[in-house]
Amino acid sequence: MKREDRKAAVDAYKERKSDPGIYVVRCAASGQQWVGGAPDLRTIWNRVSFALRQGGGRPASLQRAWTEHGAERFAFEIVERLDVEDPLYDGARTLRDRLGHWRDALPAEAM
């Protein structure tokens, strides 16, 4: 890859907008659910599933279920996307508030 192409790719990556929101991880075998919030939903499942495959997933109950039932029994779903253009959006505080809502609504354990 040429230096100019690489620089353009890096610049494009830096310019992309964040995609914050709330997601849920479900285990079909046990019926358990875990809910989490992320500043960028496009990358969170990669991070979570990598940690689980390496044996370092959090919370511990999620790692135990993953180890016991296997990756094929798990599903990842985005339950809410947050609008960063909304004047009421306040980053981490909004994520925390919405996470609490979904933890109670599902019900699910927090990640």
Domains of the chain: 18-110 (3.40.1440.10)
Global pTM reads: 0.83
What pLDDT score was predicted for residue 8? 76
Rounded to 5°, the CA angle 51-56-61 comes to: 105
With residue 23 as reference, give the H or E element that holds it. Answer: strand 21-27
Q: Is the pLDDT of residue 48 over 90?
A: yes
Q: Is the pLDDT of residue 107 over 90?
A: yes
What pLDDT score was predicted for residue 87? 87
pLDDT tier at 42 (50, 70, 90 boundaries)?
A: very high
Phi–psi pair at 81, nearest 5 degrees: -105, 135
Confirm if 22 and 97 have CB atoms less than 8 A apart.
no
